Structure 1
Amino acid sequence: MSCFKKIVVLYGGQSGEREVSIHSAGPVIEVLNRYYPTQAICLDENQLPPGLNPSTDVIFPVMHGDFGEDGQLQALLEQQGFVYVGSDSAASSLCMHKLQSKQLARQKGLPVLPAVGVTPGQKLSRTDLEKTLNSTAFVLKPENKGSSLGVQICPNFDALQSAWSSVRQGLWMIEPYVHGREITVGILQGQALVVGEICPQQGFYDYHNKYTAGACVYHFPADLSDQVTQIIQNIGVEFFKAAHCRDFGRADFVLDANNQPWFLEMNTIPGVTDQSLIPQSAAAVGILFDALIQRIVEPAIAQLKA
């Protein structure tokens, strides 16, 4: 028989986003401690810690990158019968793999940029890429990483070749570079929050700019027409539901010069510090940080109690 006793926050891990996870977990743990019995466990290995009880514990993964966000941790939790916060293993894996996400979005008629998957050692063809992607400028990015790790903007094929020559491992993809506005919208329990715009002081919204105080200016709401705002919200919600995401997420877009939004990806465990994007998206409709965290975890608690 199930009887809710505590929330267990799992954070840390071994991925390249370990420090991001630790940074995210602190404010979440602080809020949870005010309202629920809470235990925080920093993972140093990619495995479930001992001593957890699926009959009494609700798991809240505040993990980014490999293992925590790509469905591996969620699969382990499912195998052992845990109730947990956030998207399940299938949705998490789908959203982490950007080429699969693009395929689903395209099937649903959502606007996505073309992309080509590549592996280290593969020879790149200028003619093929420029024809397939309809562009002479490119973005090289890992196919299954988060936090913009490894993303490189290449203004021409020679720059792409140079960037590609240093890649030694992993799955990668090449997209056309679209010079436009960086747009985001939070999704909470299947409903769109406020659309925001990210304005880096320099460059683009890369790892450095995401996690360096003062490196970006954020506008919630973004200065967009009602029509474009509604389109972005609708795309975010439609993909969230099509991917069978759960509880919360964040959809990212680039808005081109013709005000056409292009869906880039769905983050199933977005940053959740009080300065992260989804808390700002929620605060713009009056959902303050404490209330946001409670609304994220309450469905899982209710499920365990049922």
Structure 2
Amino acid sequence: MDIVVLAGGLSSERDVSFKSGEMVAKALRAKGHRALVLDVFMGYSDKECDITDIFEHSEENSVKIETIPSEAPDIKAIIASRPDQSPSFFGPNVIKICQKADIVFMALHGGDGESGKVQAALDLYGVKYTGNDYVSSAIAMDKNMTKEFFKRAGVPVPEGKSLKKADRKDFVFESFPCIVKPNCGGSSIGVTIVESAAELDAALDAAFEWEDEVVVEQFIKGREFSDGVIEGKALPVIEIAPKQGFYDYKNKYAAGSAVETCPAEISEKATQAMQDYAEKAFKALGLTTYARMDFMMDADENIYCLEANTLPGMTPTSLLPQEAAVTGINFEDLCEYLIQVSLKKYN
């Protein structure tokens, strides 16, 4: 198959997306496919290569990244560096190249790539892609809306409030410690644990730097877990234990910053409960292909579902691939499997 691995974009997870894209493309090439890593925002100029034969040399024509930087990308600088300065989110020839592919593997994280907007555009252009449809993607991207869907499905969530930038002046929150985070962000960028009312303003400033709506919710002290779901069936639970602090951007992507254990070393009762909640959450959001749910569990084994990731990280050491590996599915087979699962929505 000729496959576009769509990555990059303009989210705070741009660099992470490139690493996912690079590893997915490598895995798909090992399975005999011609996979091209394409930056959805920068696109591909006709001056670089005749796109008629772009898949003939897909590896040479792919975007490449050495490592994930320790700091989130400067989005304004990236926008300013685009040669054509078009107002379109899609870079030159992106749609044309996607239309030439048999399927687009969505390696985008956060922003427009995970919010359903890119999926909706690809639908209009008749392009097949991996992952969920635009409606369920849009719901899952909104943390506040996601929590409402979870509550209706009987999935426990932390108590909290949503706050828009325009309403900040009248905002009151009296339960501390709490956690402040952008409503649609990922990779823990803009997230702050707040111990007292005196720290709240600075935390709101940090979150509002990324978007105009934030979530302020109770901080759950305990252990952090994640559980992937493919076609409605939960994978083994994985525990994430940062060596210092919490599971922020640095601890997620700096080698050796966290200990990840799969299957998680918790009671059978807690494991079953978390997997049940993951499957309920998946169904509640209308997801059909694959996703990953993040959880916290306190000392009394009370479980709280934090959010859903509809395009989870895809490197061999990312959480979803680690969970799949425990069931006997290696990374190359997983990438192939996710394509086959995603193609079912077109049958």
Structure 1 length-normalised TM: 0.91
In structure 1, the residue matched to 2:144 is: 99
In structure 1, the residue matched to 2:222 is: 180
C-alpha change, 1:118 and 1:302, in structure 2 (3 Å) is closer
Residue 283 of structure 1 aligns to a residue in which SS?
Answer: helix
Report whether the alignment pairs 1:155 with 2:200.
no
In structure 1, the residue matched to 2:280 is: 238
**Overall identity of the aligned pairs, in %:** 35
Deviation at 1:154?
Answer: 0.5
Is the 2:226–2:293 Cα contact (8 Å) retained in structure 1?
Answer: yes
Deviation at 1:301?
Answer: 4.4
Moved more, 292-301 or 185-194: 292-301
Moved more, 158-167 or 187-196: 158-167
In structure 2, the residue matched to 1:129 is: 173
Deviation at 1:96?
Answer: 0.9
C-alpha change, 1:26 and 1:114, in structure 2 (3 Å) is same
Deviation at 1:274?
Answer: 0.3
In structure 1, the residue matched to 2:40 is: 43
Counterpart of 2:179, as a letter, is V
Is the 2:6–2:104 Cα contact (8 Å) retained in structure 1?
Answer: yes
> Matches of residues 282-293 of structure 1 in structure 2 within 5 Å?
282-293=324-335
Which sections of structure 2, spanning at least 5 residues, go unmatched? 43-88
Residue 265 of structure 1 aligns to a residue in which SS?
Answer: strand
Is the 2:12–2:186 Cα contact (8 Å) retained in structure 1?
Answer: no
Residue 169 of structure 2 aligns to a residue in which SS?
Answer: coil
Which sections of structure 1, spanning at least 5 residues, go unmatched? none
Counterparts of 2:205 and 2:114 in 1: how far apart (Å)? Answer: 28
Normalized per residue, which structure has more strand?
Answer: 1
Deviation at 1:47?
Answer: 1.7
In structure 2, the residue matched to 1:34 is: 30
Residue 173 of structure 2 aligns to a residue in which SS?
Answer: helix
Counterparts of 2:342 and 2:250 in 1: how far apart (Å)? Answer: 33
1:64 to 98, 109, 116: 109
Counterpart of 2:321, as a letter, is P
Is the 1:58–1:300 Cα contact (8 Å) retained in structure 2?
Answer: no
Report whether the alignment pairs 1:249 with 2:291.
yes
Counterpart of 1:198, as a letter, is I
In structure 1, the residue matched to 2:80 is: none
Counterparts of 1:202 and 1:136 in 2: how far apart (Å)? Answer: 21
Counterpart of 2:90, as a letter, is Q
- Aligned-CA RMSD value: 1.9
In structure 2, the residue matched to 1:20 is: 16
Report whether the alignment pairs 1:207 with 2:249.
yes
Aligned residues: 295
Residue 83 of structure 1 aligns to a residue in which SS?
Answer: coil
